Amino acid sequence: MVLLGTLILGFIPLLGSVLGYANPKACSGTCTNSHDPAIIRRADGTYFRFSTGGKIAIHTAPDIAGPWTYRGAAILSGSSINLPGNQDLWAPDVTLVGNTYYLYYSVSTFGVQNSAIGVATSSTMDAGSWTDHGATGVRSDSSKPYNAIDPNLINVDGTYYLTWGSFWKDIYQAQMKASPLTLASGVSSYQLAYDPATTAVEGAFVFKYGNYYYLFYSQGKCCGYDAGLPKPGEEYKIKVCRSTTATGGFVDKNGVACTRGGGTVVLESHGNVYGPGGQGVYQDPKYGPILYYHYVDKTIGYRDGDKRFGWNTIDFSSGWPVV
């Protein structure tokens, strides 16, 4: 009976991993107002969460699980970029460069290609401490193959690259200056991911683990679920490709190029979790690598304002991320 019980207990977690996805881990405090979250931990142990809306809302907590407390807006006066949407900033991304935090954000309006990526800096990340520097040089209009939103910065052996993009021809990247306020002189952008079947690809995040760079991104319809749900499977989900370099050659688990519609699902709707996306990955000193994202809890509501903060630990033991 002891052996049988051991076998049954050992089978339960395996069954869960085969039949579904892990639910989001605990979150306390303010767990809404978390569309397109960006997570970083300050040296004093304080976690910061930045999110779309409210001129980039700032929340802090003593642990990734909370309790999260609203602290105010990052870009108090809105962006200095002269485009529609410069008072309603999207999709923040935050990185520590030397002793300075760089906060990248999007200036756009829904469904248009007239967009730009801006940047602000701070030495503490506290509300009221951010200096807006405006345009990074990444801008789009109808002449471009991409939409200049959803920025993500990565440091590759001392060289910085900014990845961005949404719909049209999806995800692009270019090199930044050594102090990454603007694009490096004379550089051209290049495509990292494209799905010609939907073009609904955005929110890329490049993360290095082991010998690989992993390109996480969101695919599907992100928003407006309270006005009408998309067809099953067409809502937001998180996918991934990987490469041995950060600047291209990304393929999915089946070897299909990410520029030709490839992409392996990491997390999608399950149970009461609907439309997870807007993700990032963080190497947490306590929990190890974590995937963080927003999602709708079906038991709470489908409005964009109901989007909740979700996070899970990631297992890379197979060479591919599993939550």
Residues labelled as active-site residues: 36, 202
Strand partners, 105: 118
Token output for 161: 């690259």
What is the H or E stretch that residue 19 is in? helix 2-19
Q: What is the C-alpha to C-alpha distance for residues 309 and 30, in angstroms, rounded to an integer?
A: 9
Q: What is the C-alpha to C-alpha distance for residues 55 and 171, in angstroms, rounded to an integer?
A: 24
Q: What is the C-alpha to C-alpha distance for residues 125 and 47, in angstroms, rounded to an integer?
A: 10
Q: Which amino acid belongs to residue 40?
A: I
Q: Of 18, 22, 47, 50, which is closest to residue 314 (Cα–Cα)?
A: 22
Residues belonging to the chain: 323
What is the DSSP code string of 99-132?
Answer: TEEEEEEEE--TT-S-EEEEEEEESS--TT--EE
Q: What is the C-alpha to C-alpha distance for residues 33 and 208, in angstroms, rounded to an integer?
A: 28
Q: What is the C-alpha to C-alpha distance for residues 316 and 323, in angstroms, rounded to an integer?
A: 9
Q: What is the C-alpha to C-alpha distance for residues 222 and 35, in angstroms, rounded to an integer?
A: 10
Q: What is the C-alpha to C-alpha distance for residues 61 and 37, in angstroms, rounded to an integer?
A: 14
Q: Which amino acid belongs to residue 139?
A: R
For residues 51 and 88, the answer to whether their CB atoms sit within 8 Å is no
Q: Which amino acid belongs to residue 63?
A: D
